[in-house]
Amino acid sequence: MKKQNVWISYDLGIKGDYPGLYKWLDEHKAKECGNNLAYFAYEHTSTSDFITELTTDFKENIEFKNGDRIYAVFRKKEGAKFKRAGKFIIGNRKASPWEGYAPIDENVLDFDIDE
């Protein structure tokens, strides 16, 4: 068995399967890291793609519906180095609630000019 450190951010809406998620997190000795954020060391057998194994594990133990989302942050090995990575393993990204708050700079070049 291998271990992979993972942080997840979860949003299951109002009627989500929080009991199923909380049971899974408790069984994996997850640590609470703030509202809808948890950290755990995930034991897996996959040699190349632990994220697929993690996603399958979630789907087998938690009842998800449309609109539910889980975003995982982890370290991914690329060659001899590790890089941080993040991915929605359940659901998708949606529009940010802060879009449109920053002023738009109309004087920005849309392309670079070689001199």
pLDDT of residue 99: 87
Task: Quote the tokens at residue 93.
Answer: 């990204």
Domain architecture of the chain: domains with CATH: 2-90 (3.30.70)
Q: What is the pTM of this model?
A: 0.82
Instruction: Return the beta strands (E) in 1-115 as ranges.
Output: 2-11, 31-32, 37-44, 69-78, 81-90
Can you give the pLDDT of all 115 residues of the chain as single tens digits? 889 999 999 999 999 999 999 999 999 999 999 999 999 999 998 766 889 999 999 999 999 999 999 999 998 766 667 778 899 999 999 988 998 898 876 665 556 555 5
